[in-house]
Amino acid sequence: MWRGSMTFETPMLFAIGFIFVFTMGGFTGLILAMAPIDIQLQDTYYVVAHFHYVLVAGSLFAMFAGVYFWLPKWTGVMYNEGRGKLHFWWSLISFNVTFFPMHFLGLAGMPRRYADYPMQFADFNAIASVGGFFFGFAQVYFFLFVVLPCMRGQGEKQLKNHGKPLKVWSGKFLLLHLSTPLKTHLSWMPRQPA
Protein backbone atom coordinates (compact mmCIF):
# COMPACT_ATOMS: atom_id res chain seq x y z
CA MET A 1 0.00 0.00 0.00
CA TRP A 2 2.79 2.41 0.83
CA ARG A 3 3.75 4.46 -2.24
CA GLY A 4 1.74 2.11 -4.43
CA SER A 5 -0.82 3.04 -7.04
CA MET A 6 -3.86 1.92 -5.10
CA THR A 7 -7.30 1.55 -6.56
CA PHE A 8 -10.25 1.40 -4.25
CA GLU A 9 -12.29 -1.51 -5.50
CA THR A 10 -14.27 -3.56 -2.98
CA PRO A 11 -11.46 -5.97 -1.94
CA MET A 12 -9.14 -3.05 -1.11
CA LEU A 13 -11.90 -1.26 0.80
CA PHE A 14 -12.44 -4.33 2.97
CA ALA A 15 -8.66 -4.69 3.48
CA ILE A 16 -8.43 -1.06 4.61
CA GLY A 17 -11.55 -1.55 6.74
CA PHE A 18 -9.82 -4.52 8.37
CA ILE A 19 -6.81 -2.36 9.23
CA PHE A 20 -9.10 0.32 10.68
CA VAL A 21 -11.18 -1.93 12.94
CA PHE A 22 -8.19 -4.04 13.98
CA THR A 23 -6.27 -0.88 14.92
CA MET A 24 -9.25 0.37 16.93
CA GLY A 25 -9.34 -2.93 18.77
CA GLY A 26 -5.60 -2.77 19.32
CA PHE A 27 -5.79 0.67 20.91
CA THR A 28 -8.55 -0.48 23.25
CA GLY A 29 -6.31 -3.43 24.13
CA LEU A 30 -3.55 -1.03 25.15
CA ILE A 31 -5.94 0.52 27.64
CA LEU A 32 -6.85 -2.92 29.00
CA ALA A 33 -3.14 -3.72 29.39
CA MET A 34 -2.78 -1.13 32.17
CA ALA A 35 -3.43 -2.95 35.44
CA PRO A 36 -5.22 -0.16 37.37
CA ILE A 37 -7.67 0.41 34.54
CA ASP A 38 -8.06 -3.29 33.78
CA ILE A 39 -9.19 -3.92 37.36
CA GLN A 40 -12.05 -1.47 36.79
CA LEU A 41 -12.93 -2.61 33.25
CA GLN A 42 -12.61 -6.37 33.74
CA ASP A 43 -15.89 -8.16 32.89
CA THR A 44 -17.51 -5.00 31.55
CA TYR A 45 -18.84 -4.21 28.09
CA TYR A 46 -15.53 -2.48 27.33
CA VAL A 47 -13.98 -5.94 27.04
CA VAL A 48 -16.86 -7.05 24.81
CA ALA A 49 -16.26 -4.11 22.46
CA HIS A 50 -12.50 -4.73 22.41
CA PHE A 51 -12.99 -8.44 21.69
CA HIS A 52 -15.36 -7.81 18.82
CA TYR A 53 -13.21 -5.12 17.23
CA VAL A 54 -10.16 -7.37 17.23
CA LEU A 55 -11.48 -10.85 16.57
CA VAL A 56 -14.89 -10.60 14.96
CA ALA A 57 -14.44 -7.60 12.67
CA GLY A 58 -10.82 -8.45 12.05
CA SER A 59 -11.70 -11.88 10.72
CA LEU A 60 -14.90 -10.83 8.91
CA PHE A 61 -13.44 -7.86 7.07
CA ALA A 62 -10.37 -9.84 6.02
CA MET A 63 -12.61 -12.70 4.88
CA PHE A 64 -14.79 -10.35 2.85
CA ALA A 65 -11.69 -8.87 1.22
CA GLY A 66 -10.64 -12.35 0.14
CA VAL A 67 -14.11 -13.33 -1.05
CA TYR A 68 -14.49 -10.20 -3.14
CA PHE A 69 -11.00 -10.67 -4.58
CA TRP A 70 -11.53 -14.32 -5.55
CA LEU A 71 -15.27 -14.41 -6.31
CA PRO A 72 -14.78 -13.51 -10.00
CA LYS A 73 -12.22 -16.28 -10.35
CA TRP A 74 -14.37 -18.82 -8.51
CA THR A 75 -17.54 -18.12 -10.48
CA GLY A 76 -16.33 -16.80 -13.84
CA VAL A 77 -18.41 -13.63 -13.58
CA MET A 78 -17.69 -10.23 -12.08
CA TYR A 79 -19.86 -9.05 -9.20
CA ASN A 80 -21.52 -5.64 -9.30
CA GLU A 81 -18.91 -3.22 -7.93
CA GLY A 82 -21.54 -0.78 -6.68
CA ARG A 83 -23.20 -3.51 -4.64
CA GLY A 84 -19.85 -4.51 -3.20
CA LYS A 85 -19.07 -0.96 -2.13
CA LEU A 86 -22.54 -0.59 -0.64
CA HIS A 87 -21.94 -3.79 1.34
CA PHE A 88 -18.62 -2.44 2.59
CA TRP A 89 -19.94 0.93 3.79
CA TRP A 90 -23.09 -0.63 5.22
CA SER A 91 -21.02 -3.20 7.15
CA LEU A 92 -18.41 -0.72 8.39
CA ILE A 93 -20.89 1.87 9.63
CA SER A 94 -23.32 -0.61 11.20
CA PHE A 95 -20.48 -2.52 12.88
CA ASN A 96 -19.21 0.67 14.49
CA VAL A 97 -22.74 1.70 15.49
CA THR A 98 -23.08 -1.69 17.17
CA PHE A 99 -19.83 -1.99 19.08
CA PHE A 100 -18.46 1.52 19.60
CA PRO A 101 -21.15 2.44 22.18
CA MET A 102 -20.14 -0.63 24.16
CA HIS A 103 -16.92 1.15 25.11
CA PHE A 104 -18.97 3.81 26.86
CA LEU A 105 -21.18 1.18 28.49
CA GLY A 106 -18.08 -0.52 29.89
CA LEU A 107 -16.60 2.76 31.08
CA ALA A 108 -19.90 3.45 32.86
CA GLY A 109 -19.64 0.08 34.60
CA MET A 110 -22.13 -2.13 32.75
CA PRO A 111 -21.09 -5.73 33.44
CA ARG A 112 -21.12 -8.40 30.79
CA ARG A 113 -23.12 -11.66 30.96
CA TYR A 114 -26.13 -10.04 32.60
CA ALA A 115 -29.68 -10.72 31.40
CA ASP A 116 -30.92 -7.34 32.61
CA TYR A 117 -29.38 -3.95 33.27
CA PRO A 118 -30.28 -0.62 34.88
CA MET A 119 -32.13 1.93 32.77
CA GLN A 120 -29.10 4.21 32.67
CA PHE A 121 -27.64 1.83 30.05
CA ALA A 122 -30.80 1.57 27.92
CA ASP A 123 -29.96 4.24 25.34
CA PHE A 124 -26.56 2.88 24.35
CA ASN A 125 -27.93 -0.67 24.33
CA ALA A 126 -30.75 0.40 22.03
CA ILE A 127 -28.24 2.02 19.65
CA ALA A 128 -26.10 -1.11 19.71
CA SER A 129 -29.13 -3.32 19.05
CA VAL A 130 -30.20 -1.27 16.03
CA GLY A 131 -26.63 -1.34 14.70
CA GLY A 132 -26.52 -5.10 15.18
CA PHE A 133 -29.68 -5.60 13.14
CA PHE A 134 -28.31 -3.40 10.36
CA PHE A 135 -25.02 -5.33 10.40
CA GLY A 136 -26.93 -8.59 10.08
CA PHE A 137 -29.03 -7.20 7.23
CA ALA A 138 -25.83 -6.14 5.46
CA GLN A 139 -24.66 -9.77 5.43
CA VAL A 140 -28.05 -10.95 4.13
CA TYR A 141 -27.69 -8.32 1.39
CA PHE A 142 -24.20 -9.64 0.60
CA PHE A 143 -25.50 -13.16 0.15
CA LEU A 144 -28.64 -12.30 -1.80
CA PHE A 145 -27.32 -9.53 -4.05
CA VAL A 146 -23.61 -10.34 -4.48
CA VAL A 147 -22.98 -14.06 -3.95
CA LEU A 148 -26.16 -15.56 -5.43
CA PRO A 149 -26.04 -13.57 -8.68
CA CYS A 150 -22.41 -14.62 -9.18
CA MET A 151 -23.26 -18.24 -8.46
CA ARG A 152 -26.08 -18.04 -11.03
CA GLY A 153 -23.73 -16.59 -13.64
CA GLN A 154 -25.33 -13.16 -13.64
CA GLY A 155 -22.78 -10.44 -14.26
CA GLU A 156 -20.03 -9.61 -16.70
CA LYS A 157 -18.40 -12.72 -18.11
CA GLN A 158 -14.64 -13.22 -18.24
CA LEU A 159 -14.42 -11.85 -21.77
CA LYS A 160 -16.51 -8.97 -23.05
CA ASN A 161 -18.17 -9.12 -26.48
CA HIS A 162 -15.28 -7.37 -28.21
CA GLY A 163 -12.76 -9.82 -26.75
CA LYS A 164 -10.98 -7.48 -24.33
CA PRO A 165 -10.49 -9.18 -20.93
CA LEU A 166 -11.92 -7.53 -17.86
CA LYS A 167 -9.49 -5.78 -15.53
CA VAL A 168 -9.68 -8.45 -12.85
CA TRP A 169 -8.40 -11.16 -15.24
CA SER A 170 -5.72 -9.14 -17.03
CA GLY A 171 -3.07 -9.40 -14.31
CA LYS A 172 0.34 -11.00 -14.65
CA PHE A 173 -0.08 -13.43 -11.77
CA LEU A 174 0.13 -17.16 -12.42
CA LEU A 175 -3.13 -17.87 -10.60
CA LEU A 176 -5.03 -15.50 -12.86
CA HIS A 177 -4.12 -17.62 -15.88
CA LEU A 178 -5.90 -20.72 -14.56
CA SER A 179 -9.24 -21.67 -16.02
CA THR A 180 -12.23 -19.61 -14.94
CA PRO A 181 -14.18 -20.80 -13.05
CA LEU A 182 -11.60 -22.91 -11.28
CA LYS A 183 -11.84 -26.65 -11.70
CA THR A 184 -11.88 -28.99 -8.74
CA HIS A 185 -8.58 -30.13 -7.31
CA LEU A 186 -9.02 -33.61 -8.86
CA SER A 187 -9.85 -32.43 -12.38
CA TRP A 188 -6.26 -32.94 -13.59
CA MET A 189 -6.32 -36.69 -12.84
CA PRO A 190 -7.12 -39.06 -15.73
CA ARG A 191 -10.34 -41.02 -15.42
CA GLN A 192 -9.99 -44.58 -14.24
CA PRO A 193 -11.59 -47.20 -16.48
CA ALA A 194 -14.75 -48.66 -15.03
Helices marked H in 54-121 — which ranges? 57-75, 81-107
CB count, 10 Å around CB of 168?
19
Q: 61-118, pLDDT tens digit by residue?
A: 999 999 998 888 788 788 999 999 999 999 999 999 999 999 999 999 999 988 888 8
pTM of the model: 0.81
Q: State how far the Cα of 137 lies from the Cα of 101, in Å rounded to an integer.
A: 19
State which H helix or E strand residue 77 sits in.
strand 77-78
- Dist. CA 103–CA 31, nearest whole Å: 11
